[in-house]
Amino acid sequence: MKIKICGIRRKEDIDIVNKYNPDYIGIIFYPKSKRYVEPHIISPLLNNLNPNIKKVGVFVNEDFSKVNEIANICNLDIIQLHGNEDIEYIKKIEKTTWKALSVKNENIKEDLKIYKDYVEIILLDNGKGGTGETFNWEYARNLSENYKIALAGGINIDNVKEAIDIVKPEIIDISSGVETNGYKDEEKIKQIINLIRN
């Protein structure tokens, strides 16, 4: 089970993740997000990141050339797409790509088929991003048998075990669930990583 801590934006956040070593961090490059960070501000901070931790840049309907530019500035490992990006768009991205899909009902299976051959991971979310709200995980039960799934949306220390039991994702993606007053909380990150890994 791999772990992604999303919404990293400060030096303190980098120090925390270096200590507890999740598999991935997420950096939000969507200007409308409260966790948005300027590429030129986060880039030097990322130089201090433990090289074992992969950097995932999160974008929403951004021009593909700008995505590739930011990926190079910040030396990103993975691009995570959260908008209406189609297959032709994905083909223009120069890094490994993940596609986020909003789960509203069981029709999610049709969307999975569309993207399966073009992305490394399909991330299932509630579509609201960082609100702390989950979706009905039963819609995603058994999907991991045929797809490489990351699970996001409202995951925290109280529900992560249930989320893993139902969805069996390859990656658990946590953001607001490890925050206090909108900022990453070291104790919450420590607790959830220890719980998942043990």
Q: Chunk the chain into consecutive blocks of 10 residues (it has 198) and report each block's average pLDDT, rounded to whole numbers.
A: 97 98 98 96 98 97 98 98 96 97 86 94 82 87 95 96 97 96 97 96
Inter-residue contact 28 to 7 (CB < 8 Å): yes
CA atoms within 13 A on the CB side of 102: 12
Which amino acid is located at 150 in the chain?
A: A
- Supply the CATH classification number for the domain 2-197: 3.20.20.70
What separation in angstroms does the CA of 168 have from each of 124, 134, 161, 179? 12, 15, 10, 24
CB contact set of 187 (below 8 Å; sequence gap of 6+): none
86 is catalytic: no
Q: What is the pLDDT of residue 109?
A: 87
Q: What is the pLDDT of residue 110?
A: 87
Inter-residue contact 60 to 30 (CB < 8 Å): yes
Catalytic residue (one of 6, 13, 74, 173): 6
Give the C-alpha separation, 53 to 8, whole Å: 12
CA atoms within 13 A on the CB side of 124: 34
Q: What is the pLDDT of residue 130?
A: 57
pTM for the full model?
0.96
Q: What is the pLDDT of residue 105?
A: 80
Q: What is the pLDDT of residue 133?
A: 82
Q: What is the pLDDT of residue 127?
A: 75
173 is catalytic: no
Q: What is the pLDDT of residue 33?
A: 94
Give the C-alpha separation, 11 to 15, whole Å: 6
Which amino acid is located at 173 in the chain?
A: D
Q: What is the pLDDT of residue 131?
A: 64
Catalytic residue (one of 13, 74, 125, 173): 125
Domain ranges of the chain: 2-197
